[in-house]
Amino acid sequence: MEYHYITIEGNIGAGKTTLAHMLAKQYNARLILEQFADNPFLPKFYENPGQYAFPLELFFMAERYKQLKELVHTKDLFQSITVSDYLFTKCLLFAKVNLPEEEFKLYQKLFDIIQPQLVQPDLIIYLHASVNKLQQNIRKRNRPYEQAIPDQYLFDIQETYTNYIRQHNIKTLFIDAGNADFLGNEKHLQVILDALEKEYSSGQHYFTLP
């Protein structure tokens, strides 16, 4: 496979981490997972977004940078493929939704300093699901602080992601994951595995699951 650094992205509850685990196992790949549980501001943010959005996003950016910068300096002889369940640009996309304009401008300045230092993925797999499906998945995984996420917030995140993908000529596999069950349906995973065997031009390439 020609893709050595694959990033899986999508909205909250889209199934990113599940798919990342499965692809890492399939390809004996190095796995990079977002350490969201380490962010002390996350539960506070859902209770009081206005007060905690800025420290929340700063913490996430620092932690993501700390994880991903190691890719620049390390090379595992036994694991030539890396799979991640987040894109560093996620920092900017969530900040755009969560921060007021002046704070976002400051945040973007910091992002623009840090981002060029990181390795960019060869391919993005974007999992797209309806807000209803996302809410079902969120309830199913039962993280207490996520249970009151408003539909509108998920709509805003979804729109920000899709606009970014459309506006940037990034090599992206856009997966309709509305009925995705990667753990329970082997055919769903096989669609992804078959897709990864092909070469793609820049831009979006659309797939549906059987």
Q: Which of the residues are catalytic?
A: 85
What residues contact 138, with CB distance under 8 A and at least 6 apart? 12, 13, 146, 147, 149
Q: Which residues pair with 128 in a beta bridge?
A: 176
Question: Is the separation of the CB atoms in 154 and 127 below 8 Å?
Answer: no
| HEC secondary structure over 88-120 | CCHHHHHHHHHCCHHHHHHHHHHHHHHHHHCCC
82: number of Cβ within 10 Å = 24
CA dihedral 14, 16, 22, 23 (to 10 degrees): 130
The token duo for 196 is: 């990864």
Kindly provide the residue ranges of all beta strands, DSSP E only, lying in the chain, ordered along the sequence: 5-10, 30-32, 82-84, 123-128, 172-176, 204-208
The token duo for 149 is: 């996420």
